[in-house]
Amino acid sequence: MEKDIVIIGGGPGGYVAAIRGAQLGGKVTLIEENALGGTCLNVGCIPTKALCKNAEVISTLKNIEEFGIKGIENYSIDVEKIQERKQNVIDQLVGGIHTVLSAYGVEILRGRGTILNKNLVKATLVTGEEREIPAKNIIIATGAKPTLPPIPGIHLNGVMTSNELLSFKEIPKRLAIIGGGVIGIEFAGIFNALGSEVTVFEFAPSILIKLDKDISKRLTTSLKKDGIKINTSTGVEEIKESNGSLVIVAKDKKGSIEVEVDQVLVSVGRTPVIEGLNLEGIGIELDRKRIQVNDRFETNVKGVYAIGDVNGGMMLAHEASHEGKSVAEIIMDAPVSEDRGVVPSCIFISPEISTVGITEEEAKEQGIDYKTSKFMFGANGKALSMGEPQGFVKVISTGENNRIIGVHIMGPHAADLIHEGALAIRNQLTADDIASTIHAHPTLGEAFVEAVMGLTNEAIHMVPSKR
């Protein structure tokens, strides 16, 4: 039977496209070689957030006397239990996705998909069986995998990507992390809390180079205060073995550095997964392994689409999901939201970081007349009562009419707070629109409205600026 949509890849882009396509009446087949949920659910967003919670609990225990609780200094860490809890979270979510897909009548095939032509996909199932599936439309949602740079020693035992490190059986005493991006910094926070001596090597002048500089500078200071060693403007030249340990050989502006560690995490980026799809055979255009698409996520081959990490976009799970929903609506001729420019991103470190819109540096580069305002969580009643006063909310607006164009948060529950900023930017709200909306007290959200009111020097709990 011909399908309206055949999807290769069951990650956050693929399974969302499958569900939305089926909701709109489409006959849908989803092909996934491994577990549903893809990288995000199985070896990415979800398991790391489960471990982040462990790190948060341990951090609370270390400072528990601040809350008037004594006598629990001799706690210990049960790695097996940590892994069991993490896997339970994953299994519950994977099972939920399977249930929803089945409820909508989506055919789920466990195996690899190969595109024979623009209207025919071959599924090689894990059982060895091969099936050919006629398709009106094909969506490629195969995601990405960790990049391994050409560093001598990169394949030594003990050198791993985030995929392998997530399944740790014991906590490394000394962990080196090559790459100071989101993945590297999240793992730095997790293993630092678990008790590892963590050293980060980043080639760029700062970690998290794309963040607003006010955030990245303050985070660097915070991480160093927690005992994480951070080497920026530093290139790793070699990994070698020495007396049962691994040695990172690196070079910074001052010269060579050698650091002895037990394990190495390589987190320098991700590469689209395109192997075995037969893209060259059907003439799909690539740019450095990224599938090229138009503004409707369609490749140069009509009826073949590519969504999520495989098209080399923002490489965020929620962006992949949005693209999956949009493509299903395009295929099924349903109304589609064309505005995809406002995408929040989050970093799950302590304190949390979230951002949406442009940074101050980008505003300067683009020649925008802008204003900025910051409100510190140390002046927020809810943050203080939680014992989490570190960080701030920074808001950027246009200079002429105070329209919100950027929001950057470092502090408690930053990832949950960023959506008000995303809504403000998406709907072109001004400082007055936010200020005239009553925010409940005592809440962390008050920090956002105070930062916004600071744009017009009307913040109540902030000393007025001397502009």
pLDDT digits (tens, 9 = 90+) for 164-175: 999 999 999 999
Q: Which class in CATH covers the domain with range 159-268? A: alpha beta
Burial 185-210 (b: 16+ CB within 10 A, else e): bbbbbbbbbbebbbbbbbbeebbbee
- 398 bridge partner residues: 370
Longest dimension (CA), the chain: 72
Contact between 159 and 246 under an 8 Å Cβ cutoff? The reply is yes
pLDDT for residue 73: 82
pLDDT for residue 463: 84
User: pLDDT digits over 185-236, tens only?
Assistant: 999 999 999 999 999 999 999 999 999 999 999 999 999 999 999 999 999 9
pLDDT for residue 74: 86
Listed range (212-221, 309-318, 338-347, 362-371) with the worst mean pLDDT: 338-347
pLDDT for residue 71: 86
Cα angle 342, 417, 363 (rounded to 5 degrees) comes to 45
Of the pLDDT bands very low, low, confident and very high (cuts 50, 70, 90), residue 268 is: very high
Has residue 466 got a pLDDT over 70?
no
In the chain, list all ranges with CATH 3.30.390.30: 351-456
pLDDT for residue 341: 80
In the chain, list all ranges with CATH 3.50.50.60: 3-146+271-331, 159-268
- Check the annotation: does 186 bind a ligand: yes
Give me the percent of the chain exceeding a pLDDT of 70: 99
pLDDT for residue 338: 66
What average pLDDT does the segment 310-332 reach? 96
Among 98, 419, 441, 461, the active-site one is 441
How many other β-carbons are positioned within 10 Å of the β-carbon of residue 54?
Answer: 18
User: pLDDT digits over 129-175, tens only?
Assistant: 999 999 999 999 999 999 999 999 999 999 999 999 999 999 999 99
Length reported for the chain: 467
Identify the architecture of domain 351-456 in CATH. 2-Layer Sandwich (3.30)
Rounded CA-CA distance 315/189 in Å is 21
Rounded CA-CA distance 258/18 in Å is 49
Residues 6+ apart with CB under 8 A from 190: 48, 51, 52, 54, 55
Helices 414-426/445-453 angle, 10° precision:
40
413 is annotated as an active-site residue: no
Has residue 27 got a pLDDT over 90?
yes
User: pLDDT digits over 284-297, tens only?
Assistant: 999 999 999 999 99
- Check the annotation: does 180 bind a ligand: yes
User: pLDDT digits over 32-65, tens only?
Assistant: 999 999 999 999 999 999 999 999 999 999 999 9
User: pLDDT digits over 74-127, tens only?
Assistant: 899 999 999 999 999 999 999 999 999 999 999 999 999 999 999 999 999 999
- The label of the residue with tokens 């580069």 reads 365
pLDDT for residue 339: 66
Of the pLDDT bands very low, low, confident and very high (cuts 50, 70, 90), residue 337 is: confident
Has residue 414 got a pLDDT over 60?
yes
- Check the annotation: does 184 bind a ligand: yes
Identify the architecture of domain 3-146+271-331 in CATH. 3-Layer(bba) Sandwich (3.50)
Of the pLDDT bands very low, low, confident and very high (cuts 50, 70, 90), residue 452 is: very high
pLDDT for residue 355: 98
> How high is the mean pLDDT of the chain?
96
What strands, in cross-sheet order, belong to the sheet with 174-178? 159-160, 263-266, 174-178, 197-201, 229-231
- Check the annotation: does 309 bind a ligand: yes
Of the pLDDT bands very low, low, confident and very high (cuts 50, 70, 90), residue 464 is: confident
Strands 255-261 and 120-125: unpaired
